[in-house]
């Protein structure tokens, strides 16, 4: 019997053991789920109450795990209505110096200007590796650094236009406040933190009115600077090039995109009536030959060589002497009397506009030549100096504003008492832009003046100018 029921009893015991194991596992799962549910329902107040913070609590092994488990699962303070705990402020860390190596190429009619900017930390470290870098740059330190760098950096940049290398001028080193494309004006003797200072270098090169190709060559690589982007500005457009230690040249091609210089405005001409020319030399020759012929006939003598050769020589002499000693009678310039504002404005506006057009040129002799078409006398030199000062940005050589818009209004006009011409009370406004350190500056100047216009060599010109008010808008 025992042999017969043995397998059945073993199977029964196996089933009972498995059922007990499954029951214990199920109970464990229920306990874990219940514990998790209770943990998830704890709010921050319960957690603090059970954490023992601020109160005496007996050491029990079961509390620590519960607290440790509840901490990561705690819901945000907003859910419980309690304010979020304040975050401890970080310690103040000084801003790290900006690393800057940026070039700018401005291509204009008759001129190209190259500018380069570097962060002060690397520039000063290159300039004097053994000297400790200061935290700030005062006016004396700025001046000393610029003077020390001047001779060492002036050969860093070269330029070619249309395949021909042009000789430029190094305009100097300056300390700049701000960042590339967003520089800020500096006060006199202003001290700059080192991490806010930049060093700027500037070159100026004469070019043809509309160069087809401009090649910039750069040799100013120092420290870890091995490449430098160059932003090329031409007219209202721009594009980016790059130079490096391996390829130090960057080529820009116009492809008809560079605006040509604006032509001079047309000034109303003074009508000149040609006079009657009298060939005095031919008349004297003819009268002399006629008197000689009469003398020979009266004295009944023969002409030397006969009558025909004498007549031919007489006519030939009259023809050859025709261009000599021509005297003009009558004619001359018909100078109108200007009394109306509209008439004065037609003459005054192009003359003043051409004064600004003269400064589109960069060579002093060319500026004077164009300026002399509109200005005469002592006013020529005076107007040259005053205009070039008004168009130069912040006294920086090379940053000359190009006038793009001009308008003039005549408020009054009266004839000139001392001779032909007129005197006009007028107001004019000139607006222009100039690119510098990666961004453009707009300048608007307005003037009120009494202007004297007179005919000089049969052309209207400015002969006197008395500015009563000058404003920068």
User: Domains in the chain and their CATH numbers?
Assistant: 101-253 (no CATH), 275-330 (no CATH), 336-472 (3.10.450)
Tokens, residue 82: 């309690």
Whether the per-residue pLDDT at 448 is higher than 80: the answer is: yes
Question: Residue 161 and residue 208: Cα distance in Å, rounded?
Answer: 8
pLDDT of residue 434: 84
pLDDT of residue 78: 40
For residue 217, what are the contacts with CB-CB under 8 A and spacing of at least 6?
157, 158, 159, 160, 243, 248, 249
In this prediction, residue 123 has a pLDDT band, given cuts at 50, 70 and 90, of: very high
A 10 A CB-CB count for 471 gives 10
Three-class SS state of 71: helix
The conformational region for residue 261 under phi > 0 = left, psi -120 to 50 = alpha, else beta, is beta
Tokens, residue 70: 């509840």
Most confident of 56-65, 81-90, 157-166, 360-369: 157-166
Three-class SS state of 259: coil
Whether the per-residue pLDDT at 277 is higher than 70: the answer is: yes
Q: Could you tell me the sign of the dihedral formed by the alpha carbons of 42, 48, 50, 51, in that order?
A: positive
pLDDT of residue 250: 97
Q: Which residues pair with 277 in a beta bridge?
A: 328
Mean pLDDT, residues 390-402 taken together: 72
> Pairing mode, if any, of strands 101-108 and 439-455?
unpaired
Check residue 196 and report its DSSP letter: G
Regarding predicted confidence, which is higher, 21 or 243? 243
Whether the per-residue pLDDT at 357 is higher than 50: the answer is: yes
Helix axes 63-73, 2-40, angle to 10 degrees: 60
Question: Residue 471 and residue 225: Cα distance in Å, rounded?
Answer: 44
pLDDT of residue 4: 46
Mean pLDDT, residues 401-413 taken together: 92
Instruction: State the average pLDDT for the chain.
Output: 80
Convert the pLDDT of each residue in 170-219 to its tens digit.
999 999 999 888 888 888 889 999 999 999 999 999 999 889 999 999 99
Convert the pLDDT of each residue in 26-60 to its tens digit.
554 444 444 444 443 444 444 334 444 444 443 33
Tokens, residue 448: 């009120």
Question: Residue 341 and residue 236: Cα distance in Å, rounded?
Answer: 36
Q: Would you say 404 and 235 are in contact if contact means Cβ atoms under 8 Å apart?
A: no
Which stretch of 281-290, 346-355, 382-391, 448-457 has the lowest confidence by average pLDDT? 281-290
Most confident of 38-42, 213-217, 264-268, 376-380: 213-217
pLDDT of residue 84: 43
Question: Residue 410 and residue 345: Cα distance in Å, rounded?
Answer: 6
Chain mean position to CA 453: 35
């Amino acid at each position: 019997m025992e042999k017969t029921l043995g397998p059945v009893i073993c199977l029964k015991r196996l089933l009972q053991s498995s059922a007990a194991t499954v029951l214990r596992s199920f109970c464990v799962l229920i306990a874990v789920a219940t514990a998790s549910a209770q943990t998830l329902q704890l709010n921050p107040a319960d957690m603090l109450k059970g954490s023992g913070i601020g109160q005496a609590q007996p050491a029990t092994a079961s509390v620590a795990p519960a607290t440790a488990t509840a901490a990561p699962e705690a819901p945000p303070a907003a859910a419980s209505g309690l304010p979020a705990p304040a975050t401890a402020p970080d310690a103040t860390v000084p801003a790290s110096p900006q690393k800057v190596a940026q070039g700018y190429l401005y291509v204009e009619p008759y001129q190209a200007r190259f500018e380069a900017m570097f962060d002060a930390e690397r520039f000063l470290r290159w300039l004097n590796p053994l000297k400790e870098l200061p935290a700030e740059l005062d006016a004396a330190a700025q001046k000393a650094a610029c003077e020390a760098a001047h001779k060492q950096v002036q050969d860093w940049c070269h330029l070619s236009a249309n395949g021909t290398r042009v000789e430029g001028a190094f305009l100097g080193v300056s300390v700049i406040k701000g960042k590339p494309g967003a520089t800020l004006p500096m006060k006199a003797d202003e001290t700059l933190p080192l991490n806010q200072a930049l060093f700027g270098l500037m070159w100026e090169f004469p070019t043809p009115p509309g160069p087809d190709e401009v090649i910039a060559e750069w040799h100013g690589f120092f420290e870890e600077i091995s490449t430098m982007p160059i932003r090329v500005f031409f007219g209202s457009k721009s594009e980016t090039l790059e130079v490096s230690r391996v390829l130090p040249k960057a080529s820009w091609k116009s492809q008809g995109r560079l605006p040509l210089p604006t032509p001079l405005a047309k000034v109303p001409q003074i009508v000149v009536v040609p006079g009657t020319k009298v060939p005095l030399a031919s008349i004297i020759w003819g009268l002399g030959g006629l008197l000689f012929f009469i003398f020979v006939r009266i004295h009944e003598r023969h002409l030397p060589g006969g009558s025909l050769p004498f007549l031919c020589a007489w006519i030939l002499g009259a023809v050859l002497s025709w261009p000599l000693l021509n005297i003009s009678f009558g004619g001359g310039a018909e100078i109108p009397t200007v009394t109306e504002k509209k008439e004065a404005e037609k003459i005054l506006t192009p003359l003043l506009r051409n004064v600004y057009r003269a400064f589109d040129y960069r060579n002093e002799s060319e500026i004077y030549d164009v300026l002399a078409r509109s200005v005469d006398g002592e006013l020529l030199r005076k107007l040259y100096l005053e205009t070039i000062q008004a168009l130069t940005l912040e006294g920086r050589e090379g940053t000359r504003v190009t006038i793009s818009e001009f308008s003039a209004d005549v408020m009054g006009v009266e004839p000139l008492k001392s001779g032909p011409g007129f005197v006009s009370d007028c107001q004019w406004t000139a607006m222009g832009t100039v690119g510098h350190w990666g961004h453009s500056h707009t300048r608007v100047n307005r003037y009120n003046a009494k202007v004297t216009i007179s005919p000089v060599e049969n052309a209207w010109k400015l002969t006197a100018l008395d500015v009563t008010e000058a404003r920068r808008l």
